């Protein structure tokens, strides 16, 4: 009888500890956010589904370069369907078309995060190399080349079919006419978390495609946000996004209990402060998960 009562007491104590820990973790993160003055959307979930934290999960944010995740998924989907091969090579031309009226526009190398793709203008590059540049160094030029081939509407349909309607991919990058009319790519923390979860679980396209996508995401060059809050050597596959007053990161963290974490930050003029906030939140999630 005493042993049974002891077991019941232990179970009750464990149940009480879970909610308390979750409450303290949320309070800590909300304090960090309040002190920063930023507007933050957050979505965290372990891959086993047993732990979750959501803060403004369905509030829309400018997606910035996080929209390159669904573009990558659509590329692998088309490759899996046999519509293209990742090693097929396509022309590299710096001319794109506004979704407003179809008028042409070009990208400027000085406004991009990578200059390498511009060196191939007039030549060809493979889908695989363009995807690598789009994700690892966040090349806008590579992104637009892929979107022109894949079609933004197809990217959106695939995104919705994966259960992530909170991610809206309307267009390529630097379409100024669309920007002036408020036609922007947007995301929610929940929508982006869903896409990263699908990749992590091998469900975005299929297991081999998801494994390839994870490998690309692991080669990300910009690591001052979610990875910066993790112990050195922690395996992480992620995609950042940044424009004026926007600093995002979406990651699969391969901890002892793997999890997906999305942190969307807006309102901070100093990008370093936004990155530091994301790193601090990442640290709290890791230490109190």
For residue range 249-270, what is the model confidence (pLDDT) as tens digits? 999 999 999 999 999 999 999 9
**Token pair listed for 167:** 């991610």
Burial, 202: exposed, middle or buried (Cβ in 10 Å; 0-12, 13-18, 19+)?
A: middle
When pLDDT is cut at 50, 70 and 90, the band that residue 289 belongs to is confident
* Poorest-pLDDT segment among 9-18, 50-59, 94-103: 9-18
**Token pair listed for 97:** 């078309």
Contact 174, 65 (CB under 8 A): no
Tell me the torsion sign for CA atoms 232, 238, 241, 246.
Answer: negative
Angle formed by the axes of helices 68-81 and 140-150, nearest 10° = 40
Q: How far apart are CA 203 and CA 209, in angstroms?
A: 9
- All structural domains of the chain: 27-288 (3.40.710.10)
Q: How far is CA 103 from the centre of its chain?
A: 29
Tell me the torsion sign for CA atoms 202, 247, 146, 118.
Answer: negative
| Closest to 251 measured CA to CA, from 215, 271, 227 | 227
**Token pair listed for 56:** 């403004």
As a whole-number percent, the residues of the chain with pLDDT over 70 amount to 93
pLDDT of 5 > 60? The answer is: no
| Closest to 70 measured CA to CA, from 147, 177, 178, 174 | 147
Q: Enumerate residues 6+ apart whose C-beta is below 8 A from 257.
A: 46, 47, 48, 51, 289
pLDDT of 13 > 50? The answer is: no
Q: How far apart are CA 39 and CA 192, in angstroms?
A: 17
HSE of 162 in the Cβ direction (CA atoms, 13 Å)? Answer: 31
Q: pTM to 2 decimals? A: 0.91
E strands present in the chain: 39-46, 52-55, 61-62, 89-91, 96-97, 104-105, 124-126, 186-187, 236-243, 246-253, 259-266
When pLDDT is cut at 50, 70 and 90, the band that residue 284 belongs to is very high
As a whole-number percent, the residues of the chain with pLDDT over 90 amount to 89
When pLDDT is cut at 50, 70 and 90, the band that residue 11 belongs to is very low
pLDDT in tens, 212-234: 999 999 999 999 999 999 999 99
Torsion region of 151: left, alpha or beta (phi above 0 gives left; psi -120 to 50 gives alpha): left
Question: Nearest 10 degrees: CA dihedral of 156, 158, 164, 167?
Answer: -20
Q: Enumerate residues 6+ apart whose C-beta is below 8 A from 243.
A: 62, 64
């Amino acid at each position: 009888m005493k042993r049974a009562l002891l077991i019941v007491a232990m179970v009750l104590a464990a149940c009480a500890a879970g909610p308390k820990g979750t409450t303290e973790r949320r309070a800590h993160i909300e304090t960090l956010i309040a002190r920063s003055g930023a507007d933050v959307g957050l979505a965290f979930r372990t891959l086993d589904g047993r732990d979750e934290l959501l803060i403004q999960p369905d509030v829309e944010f400018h997606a910035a370069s996080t929209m390159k995740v669904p573009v990558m998924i659509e590329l692998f989907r088309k490759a899996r369907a046999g519509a293209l091969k990742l090693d097929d090579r396509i022309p590299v031309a710096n001319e794109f078309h506004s979704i407003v009226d179809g008028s042409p526009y070009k990208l400027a190398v000085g406004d991009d995060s990578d200059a390498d793709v511009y060196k191939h203008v007039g030549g060809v590059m493979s889908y695989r190399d363009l995807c690598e540049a789009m994700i690892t160094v966040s090349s806008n030029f590579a992104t637009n080349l892929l979107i022109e081939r894949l079609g933004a509407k197809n990217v959106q349909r695939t995104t919705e079919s994966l259960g992530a309607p909170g991610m809206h991919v309307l267009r390529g990058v630097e379409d100024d006419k669309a920007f002036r009319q408020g036609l922007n790519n947007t995301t929610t923390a929940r929508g982006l978390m869903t896409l990263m979860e699908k990749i992590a679980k091998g469900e975005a396209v299929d297991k081999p495609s998801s494994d390839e996508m994870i490998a690309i995401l692991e080669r990300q060059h910009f690591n001052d946000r979610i990875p910066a809050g993790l112990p050195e050597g922690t395996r992480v596959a992620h995609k950042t996004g940044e424009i004026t007053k926007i600093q995002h990161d979406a990651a699969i963290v391969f901890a002892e209990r793997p999890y997906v974490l999305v942190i969307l930050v807006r309102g901070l003029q100093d990008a370093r402060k936004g990155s530091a906030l994301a790193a601090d939140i990442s640290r709290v999630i890791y230490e109190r998960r």
